[in-house]
Amino acid sequence: MEFYQMLSKYYDVIFPLNKKTVELVSEMTAKGGKILDVGCATGQLIRALDNIGYDVTGLEYEPQLIGYSEKTISGDMHNLPFDNATYDTLVCTGNTLAHGSSVTDIANILSEFSRVLKTGGKALIQILNYDRILEKRPPQLSAIKTEDITFERHYEYEGDSIKFTGKLIGEDVQQASSVQLCPITYKEFISAVEGAGFKIESIYGGFDKSNFQIESSFPFIILLSNA
């Protein structure tokens, strides 16, 4: 996917690992537990979890993003290349699920997540709060600025999808690429996770466990258990 090929060189600078994510996954998972990170990108999270004793696997669709190759498998979240009931915990952050083509497609992906989790296993999923975005319809999100690079994020609303255009601007780069996102709403997402056989344990507005407010929270983070 051209969008993530563009980002691959700068990914860790633009999206540094949030230590609160590591803490939350650690709280969910017994020491030595098997963890799958779907859409692991450069592998920052699985590397951190590997370093503190977890049995980790990353799955990444875009080969150029893979950075922790010894623990990462190239694959598609629609058809996870793992046996049933393999993992204690599944993590899917970075708005990965919104890359599904439709609400129905996302529901099918969630069923695949349930398949590879053990009974009672946990899932931690983060997407954006699309209720807020669809209400306000901002033409762009706040730019992410680092010492050497700026990442601009532009939105175009196209029926049931959003065209997300990212622009990299720096001394040695000026490049843009786009990807389609499915802006699944809170009610649609809750229906999809319950339909996939999950039980909702907690909903947060940040990895620091802050309260989720549908009118104002930027991320939507949900902790699930597999029935």
72-88 pLDDT, tens digit each: 999 999 999 999 999 99
Give the number of other Cβ atoms within 10 Å of residue 153's Cβ. Answer: 14
Mean pLDDT of the 40-48 span: 98
pLDDT in tens, 106-121: 999 999 999 999 999 9
pLDDT at 1: 72
Element of type H or E holding 157: strand 149-158
**CA–CA separation, 79 and 177 (whole Å):** 26
Query: What is the reported pLDDT for 54?
Result: 98
Place 210 in a pLDDT band, splitting at 50, 70 and 90: very high
Residue spans of the domains in the chain: they are: 2-129+184-226, 132-181
Q: Which two structure tokens, joined as six digits, stand for 97?
A: 């699920």
Phi, psi of 214, deg, nearest 5: -65, -25
- Domain 2-129+184-226 fold is Rossmann fold (3.40.50)
What average pLDDT does the segment 152-180 reach?
96
pLDDT at site 3? 93
pLDDT of residue 162: 98
Q: What is the mean pLDDT of the chain?
A: 97
Cα distances (angstroms) measured from residue 83 to each of 21, 114, 116? 26, 11, 6
User: What's the predicted TM-score (pTM) here?
Assistant: 0.96
Mean per-residue pLDDT for 182-189?
98
- In the chain, pLDDT over 90 holds for what percent of residues? 97
> Residue 83 and residue 87: Cα distance in Å, rounded?
9
